[in-house]
Amino acid sequence: MDFKNRDIISIRDFSRQEIDYLFQISDSMEPLTKRSNETLKGKILGTLFFEPSTRTRLSFESAMLRLGGRVIGFDEPHGTSLEKGENLADTIRVVESYSDVIVVRHPLEGAARLAAEFARIPVINAGSGAEEHPTQALLDLYTMKRELGRVDGLSIGIVGDLRYGRTTHSLAYALSLYNVKLRLISPDLLKMRREVLESVRRKIDAKETSDLGAIIPELDVIYMTRIQKERFADLAEYEKVKSFYKLTKSELRDAKDSLIVLHPLPRVDEIDYEVDGTPYAKYFMQVKYGLLLRMALLSLVMGAIG
């Protein structure tokens, strides 16, 4: 399995074997978070966030620093060359002179793929448009693997904004590589994109519903998402659906004991704070697993291991 110099653009570029191998490497990263190491000593990560995302940026930065590497970058387009009218290809060809690997987040679909085409160093997509967020999907799966011991055989409900939420698209594609039951739970306005649904249904059992409560008892994983105001062109639409789902402790009454609740974060009010104290809540563990997964990815594409 050779990840060296590979671009990480879409979850659809991965085979199941590759994902399983990546999880194995992620496991081996855990001791490295505790002690100083020089796996990526002298290497520089360039973080190009054309759209702000503190959480994802800090996760990649921490992953790089934990491996002994260093970081440069920017986290908002204001004041960058972009604002002066530069195109993405030029920005990439400049930054690749300053760094050894690039992480890019961009509001437009296809931007990460374009960046990878121009860069001679590896590019990792940290979210592009409403379409793809592959490292989030990988860490979501990795959390299931770590917390439940397996992905095959699980019944997984993805809840909330399945139309604009790029996380849910990448996750659905990733899950379709495994033998799972997928339940897509959303208000009508925010149903899963047709092309994603069709692609996924060719491989696994995927059903749509808007009733979260009725389906909870059969689920092994509830994956909650935020209704993202910033993705709506029409705020009136947003107002209609913004508080459609709110997971409370009492709603989890009939859940399986082994149920885990995940969330890509940040949450607003989709998960009641009282859920935090239950054994179901694994959304903060997701953050830790995400760090390990990104450490693994950086190490692999830089050729430091594997």
Which of 119, 136, 115, 118 minimizes the C-alpha distance to 127?
136
**One of 57, 133, 183, 263 is an active-site residue; which one?**
133
Q: Does 249 qualify as catalytic in the annotation?
A: no
Tell the smallest beta-carbon distance from residue 66 to a second copy (Å).
7
Please select the residue that binds a second copy; options are 3, 14, 74, 142, rule is CB under 8 A. 74
Q: Which two tokens stand for residue 109?
A: 């679909």
Q: Is 79 in the site for a second copy (CB under 8 A)?
A: yes
- Binder to a second copy among 4, 13, 28, 93 (CB under 8 A)? 93
Q: How far apart are CA 279 and CA 71, in angstroms?
A: 36
Q: Which stretch binds a second copy (CB under 8 A): 11-19, 130-138, 196-204, 284-292?
A: 284-292
Residue 38's Cβ-side half-sphere holds a number of Cα atoms within 13 Å equal to: 2
Residue 72: both structure tokens together: 């440069």
Closest to a second copy by CB, 90 vs 198, is 90
Task: Draw the binding track, 36-65, toward a second copy (x: CB under 8 A; -: no contact).
Answer: xx---xx-x-x-----xxxx--xx-xx--x
Q: Distances in Å between the alpha carbon of 108 and those of 125, 132, 222?
A: 12, 10, 28
Instruction: Examine the residue annotation and report whether 84 is marked as an active-site residue of this protein.
Output: yes
Q: Does 228 bind a second copy (CB under 8 A)?
A: yes
Burial class of residue 195 in the structure, from the number of CB atoms within 10 Å of its CB (0-12 exposed, 13-18 middle, 19+ buried)? exposed
Residue type, 193: R
Active site residue 105: yes
279: contact with a second copy by CB under 8 A = no
> What minimum distance in Å lies between the beta carbon of 76 and a second copy?
5
CA dihedral 67, 114, 75, 138 (to 10 degrees): -50
Q: Say whether 279 sits in a helix, a strand or coil.
A: coil
Q: Which of 2, 84, 211, 236 binds a second copy (CB under 8 A)?
A: 84
Residue 287 and residue 95: Cα distance in Å, rounded?
Answer: 28
The residue from 43, 47, 56, 57 that is catalytic is: 56
75 makes contact with a second copy (CB under 8 A): yes
Residue 21 in tokens: 């191998």
Instruction: Out of 108, 215, 265, 304, name the contact with a second copy by CB under 8 A.
Output: 265
Give the distance from CA 89 to its chain's centroid.
Answer: 24
Is 183 a known active-site residue?
A: no
The kind and range of the H/E element at 206 are strand 205-209
Using CA atoms, how far apart are residues 164 and 261, in angstroms rounded to an integer? 21
Interface region with a second copy, contact rule CB under 8 A, candidates 15-23, 102-110, 213-221, 266-274: 266-274
Beta-bridge mates of residue 159: 185, 224
Q: Which residues contact 192 (CB under 8 A, 6 or more apart)?
A: 158, 162, 163, 168, 169, 172, 184, 186, 208
- Binding residue for a second copy (CB under 8 A) from 155, 231, 267, 306? 267
CB of 58 to a second copy, least distance (A): 5
Give the other-Cβ count within 10 Å of 77's Cβ. Answer: 16
Establish if 160 lies at the interface with a second copy (CB under 8 A): no
- Considering the candidates 43, 57, 66, 105, report the single residue annotated as catalytic: 105
155 lies in the binding site for a second copy (CB under 8 A): no
Asked if 70 touches a second copy (CB under 8 A), the answer is yes
Binding residues vs a second copy (CB under 8 A) = 35-37, 41-42, 44, 46, 52-55, 58-59, 61-62, 65-66, 70-76, 78-81, 83-86, 90-91, 93-95, 97-99, 226, 228-230, 265-269, 284, 287-288, 291
Question: Which residues belong to the active site?
Answer: 55-56, 84, 105, 133
